[in-house]
Amino acid sequence: MIEAVAITKTFPISSGQGRTTDKTVLQSVSLTIGDGAFVSLVGPTGCGKSTFLEILAGLQAPSHGEVRIDGTRLLEPLPNTPSGIKAYRKKHRFLSPIANSLFRNKPRHDIAMIFQDYAVFPWMTARQNVQFVLGLRGVPRGEREKLARHYLAMVGLEEAANSYPAHMSGGMRQRLALARAFSAEPGIILMDEPFAAVDALTREKLQDDLVRLWETSGITIVLATHDVGEAVCLSDEVYVFSPAPGAIRGRVAIDVPRPRRHQTVAVQGLKEQVLSHFLNT
Ligand SMILES: Nc1ncnc2c1ncn2[C@@H]1O[C@H](COP(=O)(O)OP(=O)(O)OP(=O)(O)O)[C@@H](O)[C@H]1O
C-alpha cells in the first residue's frame, strides 16, 4: 500500500540580487493507494504531478509530510534550518543532508518508473535492455535470455529483440520501456505521461497493452497524465489536482468494466465528472 500523508514541496527559487524565496509546488497532498490498484493523477501543466511521482519514488524528499510504502517511511523531509541540518547530520552520521539523501535515494527495485521520453539505454539492443534489468534483479545469467524473450513477447517486440532503440518507432520504444519495467517485477510502477509522445492510434494500442499487462501482474500502477480520457479508460480511481500549487481537488472512482472505449456514454460521463472538479474552482 502507498500512503502519502500531507505532502508539501517547496523549491527555493532566485528572487534576484542573490536572494531566494520558496516556491510551493505541492500543498498538503494526501492519498492512499491499495495494492494492485491502477490510479491516475490528472491536473494542469505545472501542478506538480511529476514532482509528486518523484516523491513517491523516493527520488526527492518532501518538504513536509511523508510517504509510506507498506507501512515503511520512505524519506524524511530534509531540514532547512542550520540547527535542523546539524541535528540531521548527527542522526545520520553523514557529511551533509544532500549526501545523506543521495545515499538513501539509491534505487528501490520494488518501484519502477516510466517516463515520456522512453527511459531505455540507447547503446543496448531491446534484448540487452531487458537482460540488464533482469541482471539487477539477480536472475542468473543463463536464464536471462529466455526470460528477456518472454518479456519482449509480452509487449509484441519479439521481432525487434536485436534492434537498437534508435531504429525503433516511439511506440516501440515505449513498449520496450514497459517490458523493462515489468521485467523488474516491481510492486509499483510509476508512470509520468508515458504515452504523450506517441500518435493517437499508437497511444490507444499501448493503453490496451498496459491494461492487459497490469491485469495479469498484480502490480500497483500510478499514472500522471494530462489526458482525462486516458485516466478514465485505464484507472480504478482518478485524483484531480488543482493548478499550482498542486492540491487534491477531487477523486472519481471508475467502476466501468474494462476494456473501456473513449467514445462510450459511461466513459464520457466519467470524463465530465473529472472535468467538473477542474471547473468548480
Ligand atoms: N528542482 C526544481 N526547482 C525549482 N522548481 C522546480 C523544480 N522541479 C520542479 N519545479 C517546478 O515545480 C512546478 C511543478 O513541476 P512538475 O514538473 O512537477 O509539474 P507537472 O504537473 O508534472 O507538469 P507537466 O504536466 O507540465 O509535466 C513547476 O513550476 C516546475 O517549474
For the chain, domains (ranges, CATH) are 2-110+186-280 (3.40.50.300), 113-184 (no CATH)
Residue 51 CA, closest ligand 1 atom number: 18
Give the Å distance between the CA of 137 and the centre of ligand 1.
31
* pLDDT above 60: residue 279: yes
Tell me, using a 6 A CB cutoff, whether residue 63 lines ligand 1: no
58-72, 108-122, 157-171: the lowest-pLDDT one: 108-122
Angle CA(61)–CA(115)–CA(71) in degrees, nearest 5?
Answer: 40
Task: Return d(Cα 132, Cα 149) in angstroms, integer.
Answer: 13
* pLDDT above 70: residue 7: yes
Nearest CA owner, ligand 1 atom 30: 46
What confidence tens digit (pLDDT) does each residue in 114-155 have? 777 667 888 999 999 999 989 888 899 999 999 999 999 888
* pLDDT above 80: residue 108: no
Nearest CA owner, ligand 1 atom 28: 46
How large is the average pLDDT for residues 180-200? 86
Please state the ipTM of this predicted complex. Answer: 0.95
Give the Å distance between the CA of 51 and the centre of ligand 1.
6
Task: Return d(Cα 253, Cα 150) in angstroms, integer.
Answer: 34
pLDDT for 107: 45
E strand residue ranges, 17-95: 19-33, 38-42, 64-69, 72-73
How large is the average pLDDT for residues 215-239? 93
